[in-house]
Amino acid sequence: MKAPRFAYARPATLEGALALLAAHGEEARVLAGGQSLVAMLNLRVAAPRVLVDINRVPGLGEVALGESCVRIGALARHAELERSELVARHLPLLARAVRHIAHPAIRNRGTFGGSCALADPAAELPACALALGAKLVLRGARGERRVAAGEFFRGLYETALEAGELLVAAEFPLPGPASASAFGELARRHGDYALVGLAAYAQRDGPALRDVRLAFFGVADRPVLAARAAAVLEGRRVDEATLARAVAALDLEPRGDLHASAATRRRLAGVLLERVVKELAQ
Amino acid sequence: MSGELDFEGPASYVGRSVSRPNARRLAEGRGQYVDDIVLPRMLHVAFVRSPHAHARILSIDTSRAERMPGVRRVATGADIARICKPYVGVLTHLAGMRSPPQHPLALEVARWQGEPVVAVAAESRAEAEDACEAVEIAWQELPAALDAERALEPGATVIHAEFGDNLCFRRVVDTGGVDEAFAGAAAVVEDTLSFGRHTGVTLEPRSMLADYNAAEESLTAYHSGQSPHMMQAILASRLGLDEHRVRIVCRDVGGSFGIKIHIYGDEMAACALSIMLRRPVKFVADRHESFLSDIHARDHRVRARLAADREGNVLALEIDDLTGVGPYSMYPRSSAVECNQVLGLTGGPYRHKRYRATGTVVFQNKNPMSQYRAVGHPIATAVAEHMIDRAARALALDPADMRRRNLIPDDAYPCQSPSGMRFEQLSHHACLEKLVALMDYPRLRAGQAALRAQGVHRGIGLASFIEVTNPSPMFYGVGGARIAAQDGCTMRLDASGAIIAATGVTEQGQGTETMIAQIAATVLGVQMSCVKVLTGDTDKVPYGGGTWASRAAGIGGEAVLQAGLALKKNILEVGARILKTDAGSLDIADGRVVKRGTSEGLSLTELARIVYYRGNELPADFQPELVVTRHYRVKDYPFVFTNGAQGCLAEIDPETGFVRVLKMWCVDDCGRVINPKLVEEQIRGGIVQGLGGALTEHCRYDERGQLLNCTMADYLVPMAGEMPDIEVAHIQTPTRTSLLGAKGAGEAGTGGAPGALMNAVNDALAAFGARVTSQPITPDVVLAALGKI
Ligand SMILES: Cc1cc2nc3c(=O)[nH]c(=O)nc-3n(C[C@H](O)[C@H](O)[C@H](O)COP(=O)(O)OP(=O)(O)OC[C@H]3O[C@@H](n4cnc5c(N)ncnc54)[C@H](O)[C@@H]3O)c2cc1C
């Protein structure tokens, strides 16, 4: 488990990083926290010619409050999101989710951008981005573009990032006063990728929920919105009968793997839906 | 002489939770594991391993690999076979057992995914791995025999054509009268239980640094292992070297759990390459290849039946154990011992007289399976304890009462189990009563009922167990394996007055050296800080077996005690000459030779100074001997059994199938407890390993024989966060087979925990009329039992 040879560059500016990525195209790989990439190198499942280490690029790690959004820089470490008051106040969903990622040592290095760019289908942060309707900000040699989370995650480890592009930040719309969020995941061991997880968001309207967004993870090749179940909940008060109908409306088709069969995952998704939505309504 | 041993007095280190002298060195990063050792001109070896479960090697082209940067040698199975003779993993006392000769690297056919096929030695491990990718092998995939259940069916792929079928070993134990007992029973319960494969996952992977010296035809092997003299004998005989010119050095060893007592082709190939290249060659398994090549364990399917009368007396027990062990029986301890132990141990704590057990060991195209911590015990205990609970439920008896009724009475010893195991003195009832008191069992039961009403589903599980420790030559030696059952200690008083104790047993992180120092210091009456312990070097320690089968304290410790007594006698004789009195009136206290009951005398430092430098002050006709060696082996029994009882409180989530272990308790009787803290940590660590196998750890193969989880992300070892508090208590019944009276404690935790846990889960599931019968107990298993998926 030794990585094959690679060249290593550590640009000090965003322009420098983008120039390297443009020059090396598919042969380059961005190195952020390295918590996934270094393992992939050692297991020889990734063998890039050039590693472009973005850790010295200034400004990429900022978490900032804008007029209509919270902007989370790609290099913001999981541990920073965990500690950030700004995140706790405006994006409590993220603050909760991030504690389920791995262990403190990994959270000290792993980054928000790395999690999104890697696009592990069982990862917490992509699901949060989806639930909260975040936009991902991509920068390439030709300029900047914004991609909604729903379009960014394209499949198993697949995103809208093109060769030469860097994920620089995500913009989360500022939730209103009636916004609510809840989070749950089921993992055999704390810190493992979830068997099934759910990041949920809604607007409270009296006893009813509106704008319900249920972002499941670990049940498909990417985080997915359970739209039919959300439609059942939409505008209704959350009671046992509604929940049961929402569970019945879940149209997820998880695949079985080493850790749980498809049937177990389907069942767990239903259990999570009930538990998380109850919390959402409280 | 035993009268002189005062283990209860204030000066005794034995019985005290002394902290480990070597802990600081390890904590400060000054440990020396094999990978820390760097020799001049050292090469690194990496292996091309079979990508198939079963495949013929049509051709191997190494030419491109040989030209890669840093590569010094690319060796095929045939190249290595010219240096290293094959080996056969059978023990002659396991009648009828068979396994074919095995070579370090596959020759014509690879028989499991991960079997080493080609070795590449290069200047760095990375270069060796690069070159591995350039080795071209043409394979012809063969049908694989994977499922143990079908290995003996007609038409099954036969892995070794010369045997005609895939049978490795079969044994039947039958006391007679079993069918009659079942026919007349008030309650008969039966089940088929299955136990998945798991493995040891040592923190330090298997490692071998072989340094062949052509000038003296000698080999020094720095090895991460637990049985240096066994390795010495095997390396010498397989590599054609003089045994005394093979030196095995085991410095710090980062865990072994039985993983490192076997012969592995990659380690043998590293030694052969060192001979071929006349250079040091290092092999350190990476985590990926550890999963593919470290022995796996368990993998049993057991059919069990138990008969009881109306009062709950067990009348008879019957089991049929089937286990798949991979394509070869591991050398030199074989892969049949686990099944043999299951037959020998199942139901061993109980009084019944009728027992029938069939064990079948079959070959299959998976990684070899062999001895891992608590060999056979978790299976034997889980099966019997499951059946005891089933019978208790059938008869509406409390599980604790069921055990009270059936455990062998504490005053019935010595006695023998229906399978022929001889017990010197056990304490099942004392352990059980202490356990239920510790658990506050009645309160737990009441709490369980109350919580159930609130929708919280908890279960309480009990497991009584026996543990094989302190093995005599009847374990391996009798079967022709060159594995010492005896062990020795050479102890000396140095010129500074320090005591140096060299022992044949080894330290793998469990505290052996501490335990040895405690015994030596106590017997000699010196401060523990004056004692230095040497282990793990065949050039420096007396011939011994090493550390396995929970033998280090019981056997190695007794050799230390005997050496200490002998050295003390010699010291007192010197003291008598110097103090001009008779030796009988002297003793050693706090590092001084004193007249009994007084402080009058001289220090050991002074005595040593006179002996080593000023012998002229001693009588001319007297020659002091301040180096002694003593050995010890268990003579009166094949094994010295220990026993204990474990309790488990677990909570199930019936919606998700998740199991949370809330608390574990263990009362263990390992005879004299030398160091309570070390024993308790052995029990705790053992319990965690047992829970791992019972809950999360599982080597999963697909239908083509590919191991699917070769990383720590996919193979789930238990983590501290999920592990419960583990309360440990002791009953002490010292064995009379030694003066020390210590039995082993290394495997009790692992042996008992899976059974206790499964009983707790089933106790919780009983409210739903459900039960689980397979381990690991995953959400899939629990939800299926509940009929929810
Ligand atoms: C033991 C363990 C357990 C874990 N458990 C979890 C878990 O439960 N949940 C979870 O979500 N994650 C988990 N992780 C993964 C962890 O969160 C990683 O840190 C994260 O997925 C990747 O972030 P990173 O900064 O380390 O990225 P890196 O490893 O540096 O990179 C990952 C990938 O993203 C690319 N990349 C990184 N940053 C950018 C960027 N700004 N623009 C474009 N591409 C980029 C890299 O090129 C690479 O392909 C675990 C990791 C470990 C080691």
Which pLDDT score, from 0 to 100, does residue A1 have?
Answer: 83
Residue A152 inside a domain? The answer is yes
Is the CB–ligand 1 distance for residue A113 below 6 Å?
Answer: yes
Strand partners, B91: none
CATH code for position A116? 3.30.465.10
User: Residue A268 is nearest to which of B126, B286, B656, comparing CB atoms?
Assistant: B656
- Ligand 1, residues A51, A103, A118, A186: which to mutate, most atoms within 8 A of Cβ? A118
CATH code for position B453? 3.30.365.10
CATH code for position A193? 3.30.390.50
**Residues A215-270: tens digit of each pLDDT:** 999 999 999 999 999 999 999 999 999 999 999 999 999 999 999 999 999 999 99
Is residue B605 domain-shared with residue B681, that is, in the same domain?
Answer: no
Is the CB–ligand 1 distance for residue A34 below 6 Å?
Answer: yes
Residue B699 inside a domain? The answer is yes
Distance from A48 to chain B by nearest Cα, in Å?
A: 14
Is residue B622 domain-shared with residue B657, that is, in the same domain?
Answer: no
Which pLDDT score, from 0 to 100, does residue B597 have?
Answer: 87
* DSSP single-letter state for residue A222: S
In chain B, how many domains are there?
2
Long-range contacts, stretch B762-767, CB < 8 angstroms, 24+ apart? B762/B386, B762/B389, B762/B459, B762/B461, B763/B389, B763/B399, B763/B448, B763/B459, B763/B460, B763/B461, B764/B457, B764/B458, B764/B459, B764/B650, B764/B651, B764/B652, B765/B457, B765/B459, B765/B652, B766/B393, B766/B459, B767/B452, B767/B457
Is residue A168 domain-shared with residue A184, that is, in the same domain?
Answer: no
Which pLDDT score, from 0 to 100, does residue B1 have?
Answer: 40
Among A158, A173, A188, the domain boundary falls at: A173
| Domain of A147, in residue numbers | 63-173
Residue B130 touches partner A, C-beta closer than 8 Å: yes
Residue B387 inside a domain? The answer is no
Is residue B569 domain-shared with residue B445, that is, in the same domain?
Answer: no
**Residues B687-720: tens digit of each pLDDT:** 999 999 999 999 999 999 999 999 999 999 999 9
**Residues B305-351: tens digit of each pLDDT:** 999 999 999 999 999 999 999 999 999 999 999 999 999 999 999 99
Residue B184 inside a domain? The answer is no
In chain A, how many domains are there?
3
Is residue A37 domain-shared with residue A68, that is, in the same domain?
Answer: no
Distance from B767 to chain A by nearest Cα, in Å?
A: 20
Is residue A193 domain-shared with residue A131, that is, in the same domain?
Answer: no
Residue A1 inside a domain? The answer is no
**Residues B58-72: tens digit of each pLDDT:** 999 999 999 999 999
Q: Which of B743, B744, B736, B775 is nearest to B759 (CA)?
A: B775
pTM of this structure: 0.97
Is residue A145 domain-shared with residue A92, that is, in the same domain?
Answer: yes
Is residue A151 domain-shared with residue A202, that is, in the same domain?
Answer: no
**Residues B371-422: tens digit of each pLDDT:** 999 999 999 999 999 999 999 999 999 999 999 999 999 999 999 999 999 9
Ranges of chain B with pLDDT below 70: 1-4
**Residue of the CA atom closest to atom 1 of ligand 1:** A102
| Domain of B521, in residue numbers | 2-31+486-632
Please state the rounded mean pLDDT for residues A85-107: 97
ipTM of this complex > 0.90?
Answer: yes
How many cross-chain Cβ pairs, A to B, lie less than 8 Å apart? 71
CB-based contact B700 A188, cutoff 8 Å: no
Strand, helix or coil at B644? strand
Between CA B119 and CA B109 the distance in angstroms is: 16
Is residue B646 domain-shared with residue B750, that is, in the same domain?
Answer: yes
Which pLDDT score, from 0 to 100, does residue B5 have?
Answer: 87
User: Residue B789 is nearest to which of A192, A258, A267, comparing CB atoms?
Assistant: A267
Between CA B305 and CA B316 the distance in angstroms is: 8
Q: Which residue of A has its CA nearest to B789?
A: A263
Between CA B42 and CA B50 the distance in angstroms is: 26
Is residue A138 domain-shared with residue A104, that is, in the same domain?
Answer: yes
Is residue B739 domain-shared with residue B789, that is, in the same domain?
Answer: yes
Residue A33 CA to ligand 1 center (angstroms) comes to 7
**Residues A132-185: tens digit of each pLDDT:** 999 999 999 889 999 999 999 999 999 999 999 999 999 999 999 999 999 999
Q: Which of B775, B778, B735 is nearest to B385 (CA)?
A: B775
Which pLDDT score, from 0 to 100, does residue A282 have?
Answer: 87
What mean pLDDT, rounded, does chain B reach? Answer: 97
Percent of chain A with pLDDT over 70: 100
Residue from B120, B658, B711, B717 whose CB has the most chain A CBs within 10 Å, to mutate: B658
